[in-house]
Structure 1
Amino acid sequence: MPGSGTPESDPPAHHLPARRPSDIRKWRRYLADERAEAATYRDLARRRTGEERAILLALADAEKRHEQHWLDLLGDDVGRPLRGDLRTRMLGLLARRFGGVFVLALAQRAEARSSYDADEHATATMAADEQIHEEVVRALATRGRHRMSGTFRAAVFGANDGLVSNLALVLGIGASGVSSQTVLLTGVAGLLAGALSMGAGEFVSVRSQRELLEASTPDPKSATVLPHLDVDANELALVYRARGLSSEDAQGRADRVLAGLAATGAVASDLGHDDAPRTDEQSDLETHGTAWGAAISSFCFFASGAIIPVLPYLFGLTGLAAIAVAAGLVGVSLLVTGAITGLLSGTSPWTRALRQLAIGFGAAAVTYALGLLFGTSVA
């Protein structure tokens, strides 16, 4: 968003140290990056409407002000326009092609990398702007993270489980010295068994959760007895107290419901359940969707991960070569899923990627060692 400072609050250019060739090169780089970032926000805004579009355009305007600062400093030394750095150009390309929460997460990290607060040639206002920009983009990205949280959790959990469990199974069996055909059949069986188990477990989980919530939903028939309640006793307040409202709030709500009933004669269909506190289970249910949808998604996500360790055997590789290729393919997949998780969660993609890799290879190493211990030799 636009900075809170004013031009008068920033130190004038003639108070800064003398211009050096290295300064001019740096300013030109800053100028290119500001132009690229402004273009990225405009590209993102084209894919949105309403308030989100207005916010992104305001960010682009702020980057335009920063661009003007470097133009003023450069003067006649502005030279030919430079291209932004590789990360900024990639971010712009993704913004033009996709523009989803993934790009916003990348933009959030880009804003966090600003070095203006440590640069003597950047104003305090510009440094403050960049800090606030990070929070603005974080808030925009958070909206998307909330919308995709249930699907993302299922995708990461299912794919990662398929990668690790089937790699461990294939390596453990392969190290025991059995034939490659046996390893292939074991891998395919592990894929089907795991995917079916994941799908069935997710179906039962979501269905059971829905049934529990349905049991907690007020019976519409109960509302029909409201006209016959003892107004002086007003036991309707007990309903709201049981739902978590304080005694005073429950009494006030009950009085309003009965007063409205006396005035209009209309009967609430659910005893005013909309005023009850929202439970975590209800929020979780909205992110999971239907039981069948969750089951099918979990099956597909697990299978997509579990097929990767089997690929070398499907293409005819055997022995140590097949094991090495399977481990390599899974390793790359674990790095990718970990990096994506890190980016979308606003943390370091490298840290998350290496953590995923360490966990997956750790589990596979244990089963491989057991296969060597109890088997004969690698085929």
Structure 2
Amino acid sequence: MTVIPQIDSFADDLTEIRHDLHAHPELGFEETRTAGIVAKKLQAYGLDEVHEGIGGTGVVGVLKGKGGGNRCVGLRADMDALPITEASGVAFASQNAGRMHACGHDGHTTMLLGAARYLAATRNFDGTVVFIFQPAEEGLGGARRMIAEGLFDRFPCDELYGMHNDPGAAAGTVGITPGPGMAGASFFDIAIKGIGSHAAMPQQSRDPIVVGASLVQQLQTVVSRNTPPLKPVVLSVTTFNAGSAYNVVPDRATISGTIRYFHDDVIDMAEARVRELCAGIASGFGVEIEVDIRNVFDVLINDPDLSQAYASAAGEIVGEASTSLEIEPMTGSEDFADMLKIVPGAYCRVGHAGNVPLHNPGFVLDDAILPVGASIFARIVERRLEA
């Protein structure tokens, strides 16, 4: 592995930044402290422009290279944390109750800051770099809000690159999936309105729990009996809430969950089937069922040529043998996909030490990944905007 020496020289500074961000996690659109730190760092590094408040708490930095080229490369990192109570045991654990950087966005933010510091000091590229620090990636639509507020109108990019840490991959490896790389996602909320009663006289009720239990089972047929086998989809019911007493049949139950997909025709079919099943069960049981389904993530599609370019740049840092363009697509989702619908680019996964999965209360990001990620970000700029 050959981390850029200048970045390696301030690796301890990156660790300090990451630990501070980790200790003060903020949820989507609440990243006020994080955004303030990012903006101050970018100003201190000498970027030509620093813009705050884009997409709520988003920050964008602009840096010009030595040459007069007019091409622009965008680099993006996410900043938000998750509503999880930390149980990692690290000395710099979250000080904000019920908040945790369990997905490593503190690391992503730090890596992009490291790349900005190095590129601002060297400016060994011909063109412009746009550093995008995005809020609210975790299902709240931060990318879409930044785009709606003119992100790429104000800061047009020719190419765009992002990355994510991967505790499930070997340390020091980089993987990219050309083409569809991560699933799109819709979230659904289903409200069942029945009739409550005394639990000893259930014949007087129209029990929403029984209705809901039947519905949860029927929803599984969307995958097993309606989806073409060669077009993967995942439908998961993740909450089922009803009742508050031993002796009361409640009058209401709510169910929610997610659908993950790679094909537009499949998600259209799945959403339609969820609505049809709810309508049929409502009629059969004599209850009312309200359904709210909303698309939250698009399918993330990596440009094949830029995926190759990204892998080549990463190979200069981690070694060619440690990079792969044959990583299987993930059924997880990432709203960087919304940006890639507008600007061609690629998204990579960087492996690191540790075996606790993402979104787990015990997740620990390996600090050794920080100069690696920063170096990959910097090197793709130097290669795509070669002076």
| TM-score normalised by the chain length of structure 1 | 0.27
Whose helix fraction is larger, Structure 1's or Structure 2's? 1
Whose strand fraction is larger, Structure 1's or Structure 2's? 2
| TM-score normalised by the chain length of structure 2 | 0.27
